[in-house]
């Protein structure tokens, strides 16, 4: 028998089986940072690669030079495709390095499947150097954690992990802050052993009904009005719920109701966002969105949504204007921190004045469409009879002169191409971008969902892999960028179309704001200031980027920034501009 023929008849090892099952379940990308216990996966990649194995829709492996890049990239990919990517991580320490961005993915409600190696089953008890409790680490962010066992059907284990990440999968209801991150832990010996599996039919990805029925999400109501059961399509109970919500909206005085949108409601796909705009136009309800949204589709022709302010007192003041609140795939807003004397939960309305629509429990686009019909809003057309609820095309002029944070935002809004994906981890520098970009050609806006900084650059990697035809723009605060700057190397390696604008204020500016806000006067001496100052030495972003293969330049005036952005937007690969503020 020839070598090739014998290879063909050899049963696949565990690593090949798991990767093949991932492909069968519809996964297309693996963001990887492997080690010794994952080497069989590394070797198996070619057997499932679209390029080398010629498998239609095979798996593309993308190397990240730190696990936070891999986990953040998986989040960015899922925010754009609404499908999970795989991460491949090395043992407990590798997973731990990826946790901050898995936390952000959990808050974003994005599906991610982590494949994490472990010590060989027979070696674990010896407690080798890299041994740790991987399950405990995974549990902090995962809705599903499973350690593969000897003799187990590995294809089924992978299919179950993928299914757990589906909407309505094992994760608790999305609007209640549930996770769609699944972690599969694979002992080293299982990855090399062969032939335990009879392949099972994997569950498809991305359908609202692919979660196993035994793991239907529990409804975690925050109000009297919650739909009690998962609803593919719109069953009678959901229809009744929608009609009752419509009646409540009609009965509410004009201007006293608000739609608060997040998750699925914030996306143009399925016309969910369009329905929100129509409902607002017909009823006079305000259209608010989460401050930390996973993805909001924005721009001319889409609803003009108001972002809830960051600081709790401001957010509470905004919410206090309303007597009726519809939470559309969004958790009830709470303060990000409990400040001395400050609020905790920001919604103070009685339970009967809060209506929750949760995409984990109901087909949200269908529910919003029905709600719009019930309110006589179905005929509302953006720009025609929408009473200004939708954004008209408008662009700010390109700025000139002194380069400030506001001018930086204006420059990006003036120049961003149609269909851009804007990854916004701009923190204090990006305050004005949301309003100045409202009339831009349609784009997707992604923000920091879980407050764990260092998401921006990794999110661009995933978004650009997901959307090769769209320009990804990263509004990136300098301190946060330093948590995951090695993602720039992956941008260069994969030649991703990403324009990074570093907001180089050489400071942890937000922490200075927080210090002042909390009136901490105990000490504001040199040692204290040193903990929020990044100026000495100043980070040289041009060198850092160039050192990783990303062309870069520095801008100190608006004219320099505009020229650099114009050049960058033309490039097929990545580039970076350090905007010195």
- Given candidates 511, 542, 563, 569, which one binds ligand TPP under the rule CB under 6 A? 511
Long-range contacts of 224-227 (CB under 8 A, 24+ apart): 224/351, 224/352, 225/351, 225/352, 225/354, 225/355, 225/356, 226/356, 226/358, 226/361, 227/356, 227/357, 227/358, 227/361, 227/362
Q: Identify which of residues 205 and 407 has a Cβ nearer to Mg ion in the complex.
A: 407
Handedness of CA 581, 503, 337, 536 (dihedral sign): negative
Q: Identify which of residues 277 and 479 has a Cβ nearer to ligand TPP in the complex.
A: 479
Residues 6+ apart with CB under 8 A from 420: 440, 441, 443, 444, 470, 471, 472, 473
Q: Could you tell me which of 413, 454, 460 has the C-alpha nearest to residue 432?
A: 413
* The entry of Mg ion, ligand TPP, none that residue 490 binds, CB within 5 to 8 Å by partner kind: none
Least distance in angstroms from the C-beta of 63 to ligand TPP: 23
Residue nearest to ligand TPP (CB): 479
Residue 275, classified by CB atoms within 10 Å of its CB into exposed (0-12), middle (13-18) or buried (19+), is buried
**How many residues are listed for the chain in this entry?**
581
- Given candidates 151, 232, 379, 451, which one binds ligand TPP under the rule CB under 6 A? 451
Locus of tokens 């089924």: 156
Least distance in angstroms from the C-beta of 454 to ligand TPP: 6
Strands 296-298 and 443-447: antiparallel
Q: Identify which of residues 97 and 389 has a Cβ nearer to ligand TPP in the complex.
A: 97
Helix 39-48 / helix 14-24 crossing angle, nearest 10 deg: 50
Q: Which two tokens stand for residue 434?
A: 């949301």
Q: Identify which of residues 318 and 425 has a Cβ nearer to ligand TPP in the complex.
A: 425
* The entry of Mg ion, ligand TPP, none that residue 453 binds, CB within 5 to 8 Å by partner kind: ligand TPP
* The entry of ligand TPP, Mg ion, none that residue 160 binds, CB within 5 to 8 Å by partner kind: none
Q: Identify which of residues 238 and 453 has a Cβ nearer to ligand TPP in the complex.
A: 453
Contact 410, 389 (CB under 8 A): no
Least distance in angstroms from the C-beta of 363 to ligand TPP: 35
* The entry of ligand TPP, Mg ion, none that residue 190 binds, CB within 5 to 8 Å by partner kind: none
Task: Name residue 356's beta-bridge partners.
Answer: 327
Locus of tokens 């109701």: 257
Q: Which two tokens stand for residue 352?
A: 């009967």
Which one of 209-217, 269-277, 421-429, 494-502 is the stretch in contact with ligand TPP (CB under 6 A)?
421-429
Q: Identify which of residues 39 and 511 has a Cβ nearer to ligand TPP in the complex.
A: 511
Least distance in angstroms from the C-beta of 79 to ligand TPP: 19
Q: Identify which of residues 18 and 452 has a Cβ nearer to ligand TPP in the complex.
A: 452
Which one of 161-169, 210-218, 238-246, 478-486 is the stretch in contact with ligand TPP (CB under 6 A)?
478-486
Least distance in angstroms from the C-beta of 286 to ligand TPP: 28
Secondary structure element (H or E) that encloses residue 504, with its range: strand 498-504
- Given candidates 479, 501, 577, 578, which one binds ligand TPP under the rule CB under 6 A? 479
Least distance in angstroms from the C-beta of 482 to ligand TPP: 8
Question: How many CB atoms sit inside 10 A of residue 511's CB?
Answer: 15
Which one of 113-121, 259-267, 427-435, 569-577 is the stretch in contact with ligand TPP (CB under 6 A)?
427-435
Least distance in angstroms from the C-beta of 541 to Mg ion: 12
Is residue 452 part of the contact set for ligand TPP (CB under 6 A)? Answer: yes
Least distance in angstroms from the C-beta of 420 to ligand TPP: 21
Q: Identify which of residues 262 and 479 has a Cβ nearer to ligand TPP in the complex.
A: 479
Is residue 453 part of the contact set for ligand TPP (CB under 6 A)? Answer: yes
Least distance in angstroms from the C-beta of 98 to ligand TPP: 12
Which one of 338-346, 509-517, 542-550, 553-561 is the stretch in contact with ligand TPP (CB under 6 A)?
509-517
Least distance in angstroms from the C-beta of 580 to ligand TPP: 13
Handedness of CA 400, 559, 398, 407 (dihedral sign): negative
Q: Identify which of residues 103 and 497 has a Cβ nearer to ligand TPP in the complex.
A: 103
- Given candidates 283, 505, 553, 575, which one binds ligand TPP under the rule CB under 6 A? 505
Least distance in angstroms from the C-beta of 403 to Mg ion: 15
Measured between alpha carbons, how far is 61 from 33 in angstroms, rounded to an integer?
10
| Contacts to Mg ion by CB under 5 A | 477-479, 505, 507
Q: Which two tokens stand for residue 396?
A: 């700010």
Residues 6+ apart with CB under 8 A from 165: 84, 111, 112, 113, 143, 144, 171, 180, 181, 182, 205
Is residue 480 part of the contact set for ligand TPP (CB under 6 A)? Answer: yes
Q: Could you tell me which of 555, 554, 435, 566 has the C-alpha nearest to residue 499?
A: 566
Measured between alpha carbons, how far is 124 from 121 in angstroms, rounded to an integer?
6
Q: Identify which of residues 49 and 429 has a Cβ nearer to Mg ion in the complex.
A: 429
Is residue 478 part of the contact set for ligand TPP (CB under 6 A)? Answer: yes
* The entry of Mg ion, ligand TPP, none that residue 428 binds, CB within 5 to 8 Å by partner kind: ligand TPP
Q: From residue 219, give the alpha-carbon distance in Å to each of 105, 174, 210, 229, 246.
A: 21, 10, 18, 7, 21
Q: From residue 308, give the alpha-carbon distance in Å to each of 43, 280, 290.
A: 48, 16, 6
Q: Identify which of residues 305 and 477 has a Cβ nearer to Mg ion in the complex.
A: 477
Contact 322, 257 (CB under 8 A): yes
Is residue 507 part of the contact set for ligand TPP (CB under 6 A)? Answer: yes
- Given candidates 293, 357, 508, 541, which one binds ligand TPP under the rule CB under 6 A? 508
Binders of ligand TPP in range 79-108 (CB under 6 A)? 100
* The entry of ligand TPP, Mg ion, none that residue 511 binds, CB within 5 to 8 Å by partner kind: ligand TPP
Q: Can you list the positions of beta strands (E) in 431-477?
A: 443-447, 472-477
Q: Identify which of residues 60 and 103 has a Cβ nearer to ligand TPP in the complex.
A: 103
Q: Identify which of residues 157 and 452 has a Cβ nearer to ligand TPP in the complex.
A: 452
Contact 174, 360 (CB under 8 A): yes
* The entry of ligand TPP, Mg ion, none that residue 429 binds, CB within 5 to 8 Å by partner kind: ligand TPP
Measured between alpha carbons, how far is 461 from 494 in angstroms, rounded to an integer?
9
Q: What residues line the site for ligand TPP (CB under 6 A)?
A: 100, 427-429, 451-454, 477-480, 505, 507-511
């Amino acid at each position: 028998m020839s070598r090739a023929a014998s290879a063909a008849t050899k049963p696949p090892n565990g690593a090949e089986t798991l990767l093949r099952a991932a492909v069968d379940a519809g996964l297309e990308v693996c963001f990887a940072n492997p080690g010794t216990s994952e080497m069989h996966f590394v070797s198996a990649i070619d057997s499932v690669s679209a390029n080398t194995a010629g498998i239609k829709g095979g798996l593309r492996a993308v190397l990240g030079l730190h696990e936070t890049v891999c986990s953040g990239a998986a989040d960015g990919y899922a925010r754009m495709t609404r499908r999970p990517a795989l991460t491949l991580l090395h043992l407990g320490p590798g997973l731990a390095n990826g946790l901050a961005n898995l936390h952000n993915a959990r808050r974003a409600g994005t599906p991610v499947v982590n494949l994490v190696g472990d010590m060989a089953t027979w070696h674990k008890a010896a407690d080798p150097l890299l041994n740790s409790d991987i399950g405990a680490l995974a549990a902090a962010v995962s809705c599903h954690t499973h350690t593969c066992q000897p003799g187990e059907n590995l294809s089924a284990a992978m299919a179950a992990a993928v299914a757990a990440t589906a909407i309505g999968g094992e994760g608790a209801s999305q609007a209640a802050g549930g996770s769609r991150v699944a972690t599969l832990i694979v002992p080293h010996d299982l990855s090399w052993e062969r032939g335990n599996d009879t392949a099972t039919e994997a569950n498809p990805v991305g359908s609202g009904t692919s979660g196993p029925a035994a793991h239907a999400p529990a409804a975690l109501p925050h109000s009297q009005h919650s739909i009690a059961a998962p609803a593919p399509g719109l069953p009678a109970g959901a229809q009744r719920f929608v009609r009752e919500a419509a009646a409540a909206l009609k009965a509410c005085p004009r201007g006293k109701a608000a739609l608060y949108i997040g998750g699925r409601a914030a996306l143009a796909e399925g016309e969910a966002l369009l329905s929100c705009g129509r409902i607002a136009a017909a009823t006079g309800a305000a259209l608010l969105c989460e401050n930390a949204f996973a993805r909001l589709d924005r721009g001319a022709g889409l609803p003009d949504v108001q972002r809830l302010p960051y600081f709790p007192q401001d957010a509470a003041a905004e919410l206090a204007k309303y007597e009726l609140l519809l939470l559309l795939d969004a958790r009830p807003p709470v303060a990000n921190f409990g400040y001395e004397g400050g609020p905790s939960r920001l919604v103070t309305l009685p339970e009967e004045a809060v209506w929750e629509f949760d995409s984990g429990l109901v087909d949200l686009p269908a529910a919003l469409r029905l709600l719009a019909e019930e309110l006589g809003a179905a005929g509302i057309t953006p720009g025609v009879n929408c009473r200004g609820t939708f954004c008209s095309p408008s662009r700010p002029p390109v700025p000139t002169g002194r380069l400030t944070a506001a001018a930086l935002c204006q420059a990006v809004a003036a120049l961003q191409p149609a269909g851009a994906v804007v990854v916004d981890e701009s923190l204090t520098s990006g305050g004005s971008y949301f309003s100045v970009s409202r009339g831009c050609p349609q784009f997707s806006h992604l923000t920091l969902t879980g407050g764990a900084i260092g998401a921006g650059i990794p999110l661009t990697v995933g978004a650009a892999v997901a959307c090769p035809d769209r320009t990804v723009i990263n509004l990136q605060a300098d301190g946060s960028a330093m948590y995951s700057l090695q993602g720039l190397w992956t941008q260069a390696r994969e030649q991703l179309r990403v324009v990074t604008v570093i907001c180089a204020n050489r400071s942890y500016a937000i922490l200075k704001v927080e210090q002042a806000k909390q009136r901490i006067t105990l000490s504001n001496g040199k040692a204290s200031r040193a903990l929020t100052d990044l100026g000495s030495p100043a980070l040289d972003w041009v060198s850092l980027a160039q050192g990783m293969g990303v062309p870069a330049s520095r801008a100190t005036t608006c004219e320099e920034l505009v020229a650099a952005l114009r050049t960058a937007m033309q490039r097929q690969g990545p580039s970076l501009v350090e905007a010195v503020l």
